[in-house]
Structure 1
Amino acid sequence: MSNIISTIAKQTFKAAFSNKATLALTILLGLSLCMATYVGWQNFKTQQSQRLHYKELVREQWLAKPDKHPHRMAHYGYLAFREKHELSFFDFGIESFAGVSIFLEAHKQNTVNFSEAGFANGMLRFGEISVAMVLQLLVPLLIFFLGYNSISAERESGTLKILLCQNVSWKQLLWGKTLGIIGVCLSIFIPLILLTILLWASLSHWHISTDSGMRLLLLVLSYTIYFFVIAAITVLVSAFARSSKSALITLLACWIGFMVIMPRITQAVGVKIHPSPAKIAFADAIDTDISKQGDSHNPNDSHYAAIKDSLLNAYRVDDVKKLPFNYGGYIMAEGEKITSEIYSKHQKELNKTFEKQNSLTTAAGFLNLYLSIKNISMALTASDFKTFVDFQNQAEAYRYSLAQKMNKLQIDKISNIAPGEAEKPLAISRTNWAQQPDFNYRFDQLNVIMGKELLAISALICWLLAAILMLQYANRWIKTIS
């Protein structure tokens, strides 16, 4: 960086803090960030402790169940909880609107329930204060206030021509003003980063994984790029504007358009282009497909009657009681396999519809910087829709494994014959329940997240390159209006 750029940046930085209004806004924003950090930290501790408490309680109750028929245990079910990532206190994302637990039972796939929004009062509709919200929405307003007259005021006062006559090039002026504004932002952002690292380490019980460390590093880098691009746009608007007033109006109009209106429009358009079925219609479609395959609980069902006949022929017996395994368990396992495949098929189609709706918002990140940083921030803090879907998939895999394990226990350890005549009992030891591991959700590794968010990351990089190119070569167009 040349001495001229450095000098302009320092002067811009000093001028910002010499202005009492700017100093007051900066302090106010800093306090807002501190409050958002504290709220996020408390939110994480409260919700995570509740989920872990009930998770342990569910496990204790499962292990405490007495000797009984394994199919009864399959219907007793299991309650799976979605744990929070330690960085989710930074960005709430869809956390408050996504369910936190799901009841897992045989033959049935339930939805994720008990979202925070379901128990919150009407204030939640106005949004939640989080660190990400302040950084994404309020810091740009501070940057606009700092930079809207950075060059237009020089033009209005007549000092711009003097600067340009003193061997100061447009490129040096633009870069110097931009870096000066970035310096002001980082004076707030750097203490916040240190506080975030401290809280994050505390929430991780000081056991910091490499993956989480890389997530935080990329989060800081992404927001730094975001601030730089916003600052560059602000300075460029000021350079092109005829007056400070028109520059401020333009920037505020951009803030309203890109950060308030456009996100809602893109989501609404996505829903319109790729409509999703109503919950009742979705459930009805699943029930219709299952009914076509038959009912495993109905002994006269044609599909399962055919299975019965094939088993009798294969083992050369005339009664299912003479089979060397429990016939009921075998049928239950077959029915579970069929219903799970049908449910998974419908759920995947529904998730693809949601992904198509969201893909429009992600693609719009090339036109709207706010959308790209929002998607990246939620992904890195594991508070995005894709993480929620991944939890659903892991929970369903656990449910299927649990149901089939109970069916296998019934097949191997439960008699076909009535009590008193059986070699095997109609109930098995409770020690079998302990063999079923607890449900533990596993977050995606960073390399997987990077692959899923490649479009959003590409959009952010494109904005960065565009800002650099404009700062480098904008003088060709600015000269024509000076």
Structure 2
Amino acid sequence: MSMVIRIAQEEWRTLLRNRAGVIATMLLVALVLVAAFVSLERRTRIEADRAGYQASVDADFDKQPARHPHRMVHYGQFVFRPLAPLAFFDTGVDSYTGNTIFLEGHRQNSANFAEARQSSLLLRFGQLTPAFVLQTLAPLLLIFLAFTSVARERERGTLRLLRAQGVDGPRLVAGKLMGHGAIALAIGLPAFLVLIGFAAMGMADWAPIALLILGYAVWLLIWAMLAVVISCFASRSRDALAALVALWMVGVILLPRALPEVAAVETILPTRIETEVALHRDLARIGDSHDPEDPYFNAFKQRTLARYGVSRVEDLPVQYAGLVGMEGERLSTDLYARATNEVSAREASQNARVHGFAVLSPLIAIRQLSMALTASDVTAHQDFLDQAEAFRYRFVQTLNRMQAVLIPHIGGEDPRVSAENWKRVPRFAYQPYDPLRSNAASIGGNLMVLLGWLVGLSVLATLAARRIGGIVR
């Protein structure tokens, strides 16, 4: 073991003499820290803005004058998605999915105001976050630091000298791996310390942060090991560099961007217009609450009269139109739920196709793991949509119930309920998303993929060590 440590120490001395490598490493570390603090400040500002907007629209709703409850159904309510605590580390899909939904009766609106649609095209190349730096730039730095690790010994003819000093292939490769593995972890250390500090201040739970640090540590070690292994097999340093840069371009740049496009072609999602047309067609088929001659609601009227033991709508103790509104909302909500589940299933199929290629590109695994643990993935966004839709249904039905119960006691040509009733309408309160409970299978699967890459590279390193030993002899 002492020989392995000495080889690792010698590798560190060699890298310290490489002025360009030292400067590049320092710049990357500084970039990670800058990205962390800039992204944290941005998240804090956005979160404060959204909280302010939510309080403002709630106050405006409470200030509405006395009105007919059905007018308030169409007046609606805006809800804003709060950012997850760790969204500063990895913004994931948050910039593309929208953050605001207008909730109203009879409709399920989509989230609007995605940041990517309101910003410059540079946003589409990736925001400057610690995740972006570690996922994209750190592997490139590790390649340039380690591509000569073993190949230069072969080029300089020092392998025989090392052998004469009692250094065999396994010890040599182990020392190189130890040296560059430590460098890889040192590159990630600033980001890890930021995460630990974030948890220590009580701003996030320890469990997802620990898994996030583990995932990125494995990701950086994969590239350090890959660079050393390729250097073992390459006859010249420039060949190792060419091979590693090609792997980086394919695995980090090309595949992660091409695979979603392939999945989108193989599993086509319906457009918003197609979904709306299909929903209106299905709603007309099962019952249209706005059509007085609709067969379903004619039957509903008879059931309602029988339930209250009267023969005319005018004799009901509640307003019939309010009951129709409640039933129509129930039908339309069920239809929207089925359509949402169908689209979610197709999106899950697309994600599964992309995730299947994590064996070829571990970036897919670390990206999905990172987004899942920071609650910035599609699953977390869908959780917000589900909570918003559940609130929308309670919100609309509360107003419909007011119409059914209060209007009969008011009378007149333009009946209006007191403005004090608007304060009884529920307010949206987003329940924090727990990735470990809601997305445990994806998190565990992606960790296994990364660890599998580490094991596979360990096997290749063992083979390379034996090959070096054979060449030396």
TM-score (norm 1): 0.92
Moved more, 359-368 or 441-450: 441-450
Tell me the equivalent position of 1:56: 55
2:402 to 389, 409, 415: 409
TM-fit CA distance, 1:233:
1.0
Question: Deviations 1:40-84 (Å, cap 9, x if unpaired)?
Answer: 122212211111110111121222233333322222211111111
Q: Which residue of 1 aligns with 2:132?
A: 133
What is the CA–CA distance in structure 1 between the aligned matches of 2:424 and 2:64, rounded to whole Å? 10
- In 1, the alpha carbon distance for the partners of 2:436 and 2:465 equals 40
| Range 148-157 or range 452-461, more displaced | 452-461
Equivalences for residues 7-406 of structure 1 within 5 A: 7-198=6-197, 200=198, 206-209=201-204, 212-406=205-399
Once the two structures are TM-superposed, the CA of residue 295 in structure 1 deviates from its matched residue by 1.6
One-letter amino acid of the counterpart of residue 234, structure 1: A
Cα distance in 1, alignment partners of residues 288 and 449 from structure 2:
50
Write the distance in 2 (CA, Å) between the matches of 1:215 and 1:458.
Answer: 16
Question: Is this contact kept in 2: 1:91–1:133, CA < 8 A?
Answer: yes
Paired with 1:183 and 1:315, the residues of 2 have a C-alpha distance of 77
Identity score, percent:
32
One-letter identity of the residue aligned with 1:275: I
Match of 1:451 among 423, 435, 441: 441
1:437 maps to 427
Q: Does the aligned pair in 2 maintain the 1:182–1:228 contact within 8 Å?
A: yes
Q: CA contact under 8 A between 1:75 and 1:105: conserved in structure 2? A: yes
Equivalent residue for 2:417? 427
Find runs of 4+ consecutive structure 1 residues off by over 6 angstroms.
none
In structure 2, the CA distance between the partners of 1:242 and 1:325, relative to structure 1 (3 Å rule), is same
After alignment, is 287-296 or 441-450 more displaced? Answer: 441-450
Contact 2:398–2:425 (CA under 8 A) maintained in structure 1 = no
| In structure 2, distance between residues paired with 1:437 and 1:303 | 32
1:406 maps to amino acid? L
Work out whether residues 116 and 123 of structure 2, in 8 Å CA contact, stay in contact via their aligned partners in 1. yes
Q: Distance in 1 between matches of 2:162 and 2:119?
A: 57
Letter in 1 for 2:81: R
User: Is 369-378 or 41-50 further displaced after alignment?
Assistant: 41-50
Aligned-pair CA distance for 1:340: 0.6
- CA separation in 2, counterparts of 1:79 and 1:173? 63
Query: What SS class does the counterpart of residue 168 from structure 1 fall into?
Result: coil
Structure 1 unaligned regions, length at least 5: none
Whole-Å separation in 2 of the counterparts to 1:475 and 1:230:
18
Equivalent pair of 2:4/2:174 in contact (CA under 8 Å):
yes
Gaps of 5+ in 2: none
Are the structure 2 counterparts of residues 294 and 431 from structure 1 closer, same or farther at C-alpha, using a change threshold of 3 Å?
closer
Q: CA RMSD in A?
A: 2.2
Equivalence for 1:471: 461
Q: What secondary structure, in the 3-state scheme, does the structure 1 residue paired with 2:111 have?
A: coil
Q: Paired residue for 1:462?
A: 452
Moved more, 240-249 or 36-45: 36-45
Aligned residues: 472
The Cα of 1:417 is off from its aligned counterpart by: 8.1
Give the whole-Å Cα distance in 2 for the aligned partners of 1:430 and 1:94.
40
Native 8 Å contact 1:32 1:134 kept in 2: yes
Cα distance, 1:190–1:246 mapped onto 2, change above 3 Å: same
Mapped partners of 1:158, 1:230: distance in 2 = 26
Conserved 8 A contact 1:92-1:130: yes
Q: Mean Cα displacement is larger for which, 110-119 or 301-310?
A: 301-310
Query: What's the offset of the Cα at 1:445?
Result: 4.2
TM-score (norm 2): 0.94
Q: 1:372 to 1:105 in 2, by over 3 A?
A: same
Moved more, 140-149 or 60-69: 60-69
CA shift at 1:464, angstroms? 2.0
What secondary structure is seen at the aligned counterpart in 1 of 2:94? Answer: coil
The structural deviation recorded for 1:412 is 2.7
* Aligned 8 A contact 1:79 1:104 in 2: yes
Distance in 2 between the 1:115 and 1:97 partners?
Answer: 5
With 279-288 and 393-402 compared, the bigger mean Cα shift is at: 279-288
Q: Which amino acid in structure 2 is aligned with residue 286 of structure 1?
A: L
Deviations 1:186-217 (A, max 9, x none): 3332233223444x369xxx4445xx221111
Distance across 2 between alignment mates of 1:219 and 1:417: 59
- Secondary structure, counterpart of 1:87 in structure 2: helix
